[in-house]
Amino acid sequence: MTAARTRLVWCVTDDGKVQCKEIVEGCDPYVLAPGESWHQPMLTCTGPWTHSSNPTGWLGITTGTRIPAAWTTIVDWRTIATFTTAACITDGLATTDLGTLLHYARDTRIYHLIDARYLVNGTVVATHTNRAYPYSDERTEALSTEPLQYEWEHGGVDTQHLLNIPASASIGVQVRHRLREGAPQDTPWSRAYVGLRSQAALVTVPRTIVTGGQS
C-alpha cells in the first residue's frame, strides 16, 4: 500500500507567492510536484556600467596681453560630460582629466586654479576647490626685453565616489578655471589657454548584488 504524498498548492501573484488551500480569485493556482521548489521571478538590471566622454577643445583663453592681478574666472563651471546610469540604484567612481593648459608669458608669474564638481540629476553632490594649482614663472634678471616664453602643463586628474545613485540618473561633471598674474617686472606680458582635451569617465556597479540563495 503506497503512502499518500502531500502536495502544496501555491497562488502565484505579481508581487510574490501565497500558500493557499483553495483557489483564490485573481491568481492562478500552481501545484508543486514532490521535490519541486518555487523561486521568485529574477529581476535584472542591464548596463552600460562604464561611460566616458570625448576630449574637449580649448575651454577658454584669457583676453588681451595681461592677465588681471586679481583672481579671474576664465571658465565658470563648464560641463564636460553627462552620463545616464543604469535603471537600478548604483554606486560609482568618476574620474576627471582636467586637461592640458598653456601659459604664455614674459617677465611675470601666472597662478592657475582648477576646480571640479559632480552633479546627480542637476544637484551638486561634491565640489573640489583648488584641485589643481599649475604655476609658471617667466621672471628674469635681464635688463633687455626677453622673448615670450610658453609652458605646457597637464592639469592633473580628479576622482570622486558617488553612492546610492538613483536609477536612470543623470550624472554631470563640470570644471572651473581661475587665473591671476603676480610679481610683474619691466615688460610683463601674459596669456593662458586652458582645458584642452578635458575628459571624464564613470564606472558604476549595482548597489545590491545577489551572492547566493537560501532554500
pLDDT tens-digit series, residues 162-194: 999 999 999 999 999 999 999 999 899 999 999
Give me the sign of the Cα torsion angle 171, 156, 151, 63: positive
Residue 18 pLDDT class (50, 70, 90 cuts)? low
State yes or no: cis peptide before 48, omega within 30 of 0. yes
Burial of 15 (0-12, 13-18, 19+ CB in 10 A): exposed
Looking at residue 109, its pLDDT comes to 95
**Residue 21 sits in the same domain as residue 74:** no
Summarize the confidence of residues 88-96 as an average pLDDT: 97
Residues 29 and 55 in one domain: no
Is 212 within a domain? no
103-153 pLDDT, tens per residue? 999 999 999 999 999 999 999 999 999 999 999 999 988 776 788 899 999
| For residues 7-20, average pLDDT | 51
Same structural domain for residues 143 and 68? yes
Residue 209: its pLDDT value, please? 82
Instruction: Provide the number of structural domains found in the chain.
Output: 2
Is residue 150 located within the same domain as residue 125? yes
pLDDT digits (tens, 9 = 90+) for 48-81: 999 999 999 999 999 999 999 999 999 999 999 9
pLDDT by residue (tens digit) across 27-50?
555 555 565 555 556 678 999 999
Look at residues 178, 173, 171 and name the one whose alpha carbon lies nearest to residue 56. 173
Same domain, residue pair 109 and 21: no
62: left (phi over 0), alpha (psi -120 to 50) or beta: beta
Q: Is residue 215 part of a domain?
A: no
Domain span at residue 25 reads 7-37
Residue 215, pLDDT above cutoff 80: no
The pTM of this model reads 0.78
> Do 132 and 28 fall within a single domain?
no
Indicate whether 33 and 93 sit together in one domain.
Answer: no
Where do the DSSP E strands lie in the chain? Answer: 9-13, 16-19, 28-31, 50-52, 60-61, 72-84, 90-97, 100-106, 109-120, 123-132, 135-137, 149-154, 157-165, 170-182, 189-196, 199-206
Residue for grid cell 504524498? 5
CA torsion angle 22 24 25 30 (round to 10): -90
Does residue 45 belong to any structural domain of this protein? Answer: no
Same domain as 69, residue 21 = no
User: How many Cβ atoms are within 10 Å of 19's Cβ, its own excluded?
Assistant: 10
Question: What are the two backbone dihedrals, phi and then psi, of residue 42, each rounded to the nearest 5 degrees?
Answer: -80, 130
More reliable by pLDDT, 11 or 162? 162
**Are both 117 and 181 inside the same structural domain?**
yes
Residues 12 and 69 both lie in one domain: no
